[in-house]
Each structure stands twice: as C-alpha cells, then as structure tokens.
Structure 1
C-alpha cells in the first residue's frame, strides 16, 4: 500500500488507483506525513491545506471513483500550487504572492487555473513558498540538503546565499523543493524569466513553461503578461505531459514507439552559453563538471539515435533591446496587480502605490535587513510611459528575440534548441522575450554537494508537443534523476 514519496510519480499513482491498490486518502496521508517530517526545515510551503479539509476532499474523490465518475487523468492525485495561484478562502489556504500586504485577503472563488485543476480531480495539498525576494514581498525557502554528510552552509541547495551552487534560482523555488522533497508528486509554478527553469533544474525535475498567453491567467499573480506563463513541475516527463494536457486543454497523442521521429535538436556550446562569473560565482570544478556531463548527455543521445547537431552557435541575447524593466513595470502597475487584486473580495491594498506604502509602514516585517529597498515596486509605481509606447517596446523585443531563435531553427534545421539549465538562452531574454515554450530535464548532480543540474529546451510557439515528446524519450536514455538524501537536514 505504501510508496516512496521521493521517487513515485503521478502516473504510477494513477495506475495504482485504477487498480484499486490504493486510495487517494491513503496517498494524501503519505504526503502529509512527509510534510510533517521535513517542512519545518525546508520551509517550502507558505500555506498548507488544513489536514481535515484535504482528507475530506480526498475521500470525496475516492467516492467519485467508486461510482465511476472520473474527472480526469489525474483524478485524486495531489498537487501543490505556488502562492501566486488564487484559491478560494473556503479551501483554507491564503494567497499572498509572498507579500505581507496580501495577508488576510479573501477570495470568494478560485483562479481560472486553480479551478481547472480542481475540476480535473486534483487535490491541492498547499501553497508553495517563494524565494528570498520577489517583486512584491519577502519570503524564504531554504531548500534541500542534497548531501547526506552536510557540514557547511555552502552545501544547501537553496539558501540565503547568492552563489550559483547554493542559490535557489527563481520565485518558484518552493514548488520545486516540494516536489523534490516528496511533499507532492506535482506542483504548479510560474515564470517571468527563469523562475521555472532554474528551480526545476536545481531540484532535478522535469518542467514546462508553455507558450506565453496560452492559458487563462485570471486569478494568478503575474509580474507581466508579456513574459509570464504558468507551468508544471514533476518527477517524470509523463507527469508533465498529462498535466500539460489538463492545463492546455488538448491531447498530445504520441507514442514512445515513435522515438525520435520528427525531432531534431541543436545543442549550444556550454563553454560559451554559461553564466558570467560576474553574475554568479561557481565553486571550484563545478563549471568543468557541468560541461563534461553536458557533453556526455549529447553523446548518449546521439548513440540512442537522436538527430542532433553539436555545437551550434547563436547570437548573444545581449543584442536584444534592453526594455525588460520598462515593460515589466508598466504591465505590473497597469495590468497585473489590478487584475490580481480583483481576484479578492476583501483586500487591504488596491494598487502598487498601496503596496509600497504598506511595506514602508510595516518595514520590520516587509523590509527587514538586508532587504530594505523596494526598488522594483517603486519603479513600477513611478512608471509613466503611455500604453502605445509600451506596446511598441513589446513588439520590438518579441520580434528581435524570435528573429534570433527562428534564424537558428531555420539555419540548423532543428525544432528544439538545447542549452545548460543555467544558460542565458533560457533564463534571460531570448526565450522569455520570444514567448516560446521552454522545458527542463535533469542531467546529473554536482560532485561536491550533490546539487542537481540539467538542460533547458526551447521550441517555437505552440510547439509544446515537440518538447514533451523529446522529454519522454530523453527520460528513457538519460541517467535516473537525482533523488535527495535526508540523512541530515540543516538550516
């Protein structure tokens, strides 16, 4: 009846449910027990679902199954949502986007994606914490000690440090940590630039950021409608495919027997496409190890029959217009925060200016040292550009980003671009500016602290199926994804 919460995926659980070998209530109990064991150290959840309420929901899904009323392919499977997804107050979880300004806000109904998941039969176990500093507030996710014999702070995969081997990555860290730590088989995350890609690769997960604009983001905290897209994280490619079908409302009908048919992948040179040392300091030897294992992965895929080209060369994304912040500030002030606030029937703030004021008046909690500034919020508050001007900036950036990627797709005759998970291709403006879908797959783990690292993958707009097909075949050829060790947990 029991299962390993660190390795079992949602598809496996669904098969056990269909075989009547387990119930949703029993599955939920297993994950709640894991949360009880490790959440005090990891701080992955900002708002766990009330135990009795979530068990009541699980039992209701079991009763529906008994009567033959199956809501969807993940009926009765648990999931954790990032704290940016609005949940109705009756579910017993808050929605704050990691900001004290939204503590106590009440919503009478779920956001569009939250409701879609519930309608498909998924069970929300809680809301995931966000990282040390996000656009509107301050929360902390520590993360997993991947090394069993941990003895210093550098060995924390998610910590208060900012170096490349210890930093959590993006604001979806809580979602990634929750899945990797066995709190849930699935999680929902969001990405502006890098917040799905980096946390998922650093937690050894499969993930997908769908094409920007492909989903209804009503009832979702976003920074900008131009960049942001919500997407799933999981322990397996098949889990990502099924959850993507639910989210995007379309079936991805492909067979593993087709293998590489119709796929062609261009791998960028990892020696060129890596983060600048000025951006993040790397522990001695990690850069060399990641290049070596990247190239080993390319060789394994080539031996497995994958049509690929390596290395291919892409223009530096620094040639793109430097307009990310003006676009983000304007969208945040004029579109995204007003829409997020409208999700609540009770809320103490009504605008960006209100949030800035609240943070100043409650600085002990909202702006503790060393995070005493709120430059992004003030930048958004002071944004004075006209809508037409911002629309032109968006058009110019999207065109420039797509021109770079389309030129590479066409010149190399590939339909997927691959790069290191820490590559500026995926966590800076190229993929984000284009609005193209981005996926991640795990490669391995660092020798010195066992922290995972992986690949990011980019395809053209609406070509999620191309990425999902690659991910499922990749999983059959690649090494097993890294699994954390909980011999010692250190804060």
Structure 2
C-alpha cells in the first residue's frame, strides 16, 4: 500500500492549500486520500458511522480535476479552492452532486431535492468540494425522548474517534452532554477529528455545534443568527437555529466561516476579513470567565451553569485564568451573571421557554424544508409521525422507540402571535437587556465558560455568535474545551480569542486511529 501524501489526522486546510499553491499536491490527490480514510474507518475499522452519504467517487474526482485545471490556468476561486468539506446531513443537494438529504430520517431517504441549498451553491462556486454528508442526531435531535446524541435511524450511532474497542451490537442510549459525541452535529465533528475532511459544517439550536466540536478537540464557531443563509436547510426553529463551522485551527475556521457568510454579512467585515483580528495576542482583549462547573464539593457538584457532572479537575480550569494573565491578558474571574428570569436552565417569558417556541416553529419550518423536494411524500410534522408509526421497525428501532418531541411539536398549543411575542421577549431579556447590558456594565468583550455550560442557551436566545476552543484531554483521552460568547456582530472577538489561545495553550492530543 502506498504512503498517503499527507497525514489526514493532523494536516490543516491551510497546509493543504500551501501545497496546492506550490504544486506539490493536487486536489485529486487530496480527495483520493480523504476517500481512503473514510472507507477505512466509517463503516469498517473503527466503525465511526460519522458519514451517512459519501459523494460518488467519479463525481468528486471529476470536480477535483476541473479545479486542478483551473488552478493551472491561474484561476483561483477562493482560499478554499480545491479543498473538500463534509456537511451535516440537513442541507439539500441538486442531483448533480450525487448526494441525498435525509436529516437521518427514513421518511426522507428516497426524496430528491429540487436544487442545492443556497449555502451549498455558494461553497461550490468558491471551489469547495462537497465530499459527503455527516451523520447527526435524527431531526437535529428533535425526535425522541432520551435519544442518543449522534444517532439516527438512517446512519446509526456515531462514535467518537477517541473511543476504543468494538462498538456494541445494540448501543445503549448515552444521553445528555456526557455522551461521547455531545450534540446533534456529531458526525461533522467526528469526521474532522477522524481525518475524513479538514473542514465541516454543522447546525446549532442550543449547543449542537459547539458541544460535539469540543468533544472532538476542534475549534468551532457559529456566527450571529441571520448571517448565513438557511434556505434549503433543515432546522428545528426559525428563531434559534444557526449554521456554523468546525476545523482543527482558528485560521482554517476563519476561512470557512467567511466563506459561508451571506454577501451582506461579508461586506461588513474589513478587507482581510477575520484575519485582521487574529493577532495571536491577548493585548486589549477583556475577558470575563464564569465560575468552574468542573470539580468542587464531591462527585455530584454542579453549578447553576452546569449541564453535566464533573469531567475534569477544577485546577485545570482555574489555571486558564492565570495563564492568560501571565501572557498579558485581562481577566475577570469569576464573574457572576444575574439569573434574570432564568429558570430550570432556560430563560422564560410568561412560562414559555426557547424549547416551547421552537416546538411551535418546527411545524412551519418543516413544511418549508419539504417544499424543497420534488413531489414530496412528507409535508408536515403529522406526516412524519404517521410514517414513523407505519414503519416503526426501521424508523424507531430499539432502543429509540419513541417520537415524543415530534408529537409535542405537532400538538403545540401556541398561536403565531404567542410564539413571536415569547421569542421577542426571550431575545431581549437574554440579549439587549441581559448579556449585552451586563458585558457593557462590566467592560468585558467576551465571556468564557466550561464547554458543558448552559451559557450556550443564552447565546442562542440572544442570537449572539458563539464558539469553542480545545483545552485538553481527560484521562481516557476524550477532549474537552471552553465555550465562548461575544455580542452580536463581534465574531471578530471570538477569532481574536482563538488566535491568542492557540498561541498560548498546547494542542490537545488527537485520536489514535490505525
């Protein structure tokens, strides 16, 4: 067997692009190498189940050949010209890309999209090669009670690339953020960490991009809501869902994050985009760090911000503050954010939470999504529920035998006005009159928390940009990270933090895949 031209587990998108520019590597060789890694470990080898669909080999190689010819003639479409990406299986694809969109659901397995999602078309025009679709929590987690993160009826259970030993024949549900893959964009995160592609896209309602990225040792960021097109993309809700990026380094992440912005959002950036913010220095950045949710009084200690039990020593988290200060950064630690009307980890208005607003909105956005298929057999949440009942053996196999979330949405008692009013107030109380006011009053630019922190829900409620950085590895090898929040329009501060973080802290250890 010939030696691969690069290490898929460690090579970055920037390094690949440098070699393409130097003429020491071609896009054809890049695609061939990643396809080999997918074949080796997706359903064979480590059996990661990170990919639901892989684009036909002849199609992606043909696309790579075309992009290589363009490069030879001096045409470079973007900084990602000729590089591959994997995307969460909730983006619609035109037939010519050879990919289906299932959202992990059997009911969509045979549907055909009319055209590419607007964002997919945007990436193709920039010379990005869509290598395949990543497994996910079915319906982005909006299907069943206690459904394992990263499980879908179509794709099975995604496994972390850091897991060891053979997978069980019938996996036991591993719910909550303590699960190895973390959230619904699991396949997107595992795919990058396992060397299936250098970059990936995911979506997030309340942590489903950043949580799995932190558990895969990656950098991730989703910009403020509305700055990336969601046309042709499956969502749980209109108000809270956002699309984001994952990569091994802040620089790679910045390239992808800029590439997915709408033209209007990109026009607001400086000429050099996020690169202007990536100085590698803490100077001038004012950071507020929440109290640790890791460690404390006994094994069951949890703060109001925690979502999972202790996962690492508190000293590691406390040491972040000292290290940033030692390298010239300004840190307020610990900061205490007022709970406002924070109840049961969810900001509410008249008793209504983000979840209840999303339950109502799901009925509208699912119809929009289904309208993107040619003559769809499924059009409503009710159609999905009935299909799953009739095909329970394959749509709801043990141990995932219910569809409670879908039923709750279908039976939502809210009116359009009630849902809209609740969203406006939740957004205001968590954003403009909540976190925004707090950050201004305390003169901090960015808030940092443990990667398992409920602060991610505030970010979603406020429609703020959010990200994660990899901090270290547990004794069993699993990575963990930090969660970042900045005010609307200040994605540049997230990249500024990431750049300084990468220059200050050691890299996390990668997975050991043979």
Return the offset for 1:117.
0.8
Matching residue of 2:311 = 287
Per the normalisation by structure 1, the TM-score is 0.91
Change (3 A) 1:473 1:73: same
Q: Distance in 2 between matches of 1:313 and 1:243?
A: 33
Matching residue of 1:369 = 398
The answer as to whether partners of 1:131 and 1:168 remain within 8 angstroms in 2 is no
Moved more, 190-199 or 308-317: 308-317
Q: Aligned match of 1:47 in 50, 53, 62?
A: 53
Q: Aligned match of 1:69 in 75, 98, 102?
A: 75
Moved more, 203-212 or 242-251: 242-251
Change (3 A) 1:236 1:412: same
Change (3 A) 1:455 1:433: same
Q: Distance in 1 between matches of 2:165 and 2:114?
A: 47
Matching residue of 1:462 = 489
Q: Are 1:439 and 2:452 matched, yes or no? A: no
Return the offset for 1:12.
1.1
Give the number of the structure with larger relative contact order, counting CA–CA contacts within 8 Å between residues 6 or more apart.
1
Q: Are 1:307 and 2:350 matched, yes or no? A: no
Q: Distance in 2 between matches of 1:238 and 1:90?
A: 31
Return the offset for 1:197.
1.2
What number of residue pairs does the alignment pair up? 474
Return the offset for 1:11.
1.0
Q: Are 1:477 and 2:496 matched, yes or no? A: no
Matching residue of 1:98 = 104
Matching residue of 1:268 = 290
Matching residue of 1:247 = 260
Q: Are 1:226 and 2:253 matched, yes or no? A: no
Change (3 A) 1:12 1:472: same
The 5 Å alignment of 1:446-457 reads 446-447=474-475, 449-457=476-484
Matching residue of 1:346 = 375
Matching residue of 2:26 = 23
Change (3 A) 1:216 1:278: closer
Q: Distance in 1 between matches of 2:194 and 2:172?
A: 15
Q: Tell me, what secondary structure is at the counterpart of 1:31?
A: helix
Q: Tell me, what secondary structure is at the counterpart of 2:311?
A: helix
Return the offset for 1:384.
3.7
Matching residue of 1:89 = 95
Q: Are 1:185 and 2:198 matched, yes or no? A: yes
The 5 Å alignment of 1:404-419 reads 404-419=434-449
Matching residue of 1:421 = 451
Change (3 A) 1:398 1:387: same
The answer as to whether partners of 1:437 and 1:459 remain within 8 angstroms in 2 is yes
Moved more, 371-380 or 7-16: 371-380
The answer as to whether partners of 2:306 and 2:453 remain within 8 angstroms in 1 is no
Return the offset for 1:3.
1.1
Change (3 A) 1:281 1:304: closer
Return the offset for 1:146.
2.1
Q: Distance in 2 between matches of 1:115 and 1:473?
A: 33
Q: Tell me the alpha carbon deviations over residues 340-368 of structure 1, each in whole angstroms, 9 at most, x when there is no partner.
A: 11211232211111111111110111112
Return the offset for 1:256.
4.4
Please provide the CA RMSD for this pair: 2.4
Moved more, 394-403 or 127-136: 127-136
Matching residue of 1:80 = 86
The answer as to whether partners of 1:130 and 1:140 remain within 8 angstroms in 2 is no
The answer as to whether partners of 2:225 and 2:240 remain within 8 angstroms in 1 is yes
Return the offset for 1:396.
1.1
Q: Tell me, what secondary structure is at the counterpart of 1:80?
A: strand
Change (3 A) 1:287 1:238: same
Matching residue of 2:353 = 323
Moved more, 317-326 or 375-384: 317-326
Gaps of 5+ in 1: none
Return the offset for 1:468.
1.1
Q: Aligned match of 2:415 in 383, 386, 394?
A: 386
Return the offset for 1:385.
2.1
Q: Tell me the alpha carbon deviations over residues 196-234 of structure 1, each in whole angstroms, 9 at most, x when there is no partner.
A: 111000000000011012221000000001110001000
Q: Tell me, what secondary structure is at the counterpart of 2:52?
A: strand
The answer as to whether partners of 1:438 and 1:456 remain within 8 angstroms in 2 is yes
Q: Distance in 1 between matches of 2:427 and 2:184?
A: 23
Q: Aligned match of 1:398 in 427, 435, 441?
A: 427
The answer as to whether partners of 2:105 and 2:138 remain within 8 angstroms in 1 is no
Return the offset for 1:412.
2.2
Return the offset for 1:297.
2.3
Gaps of 5+ in 2: 144-151, 267-272, 296-300
Matching residue of 1:38 = 41
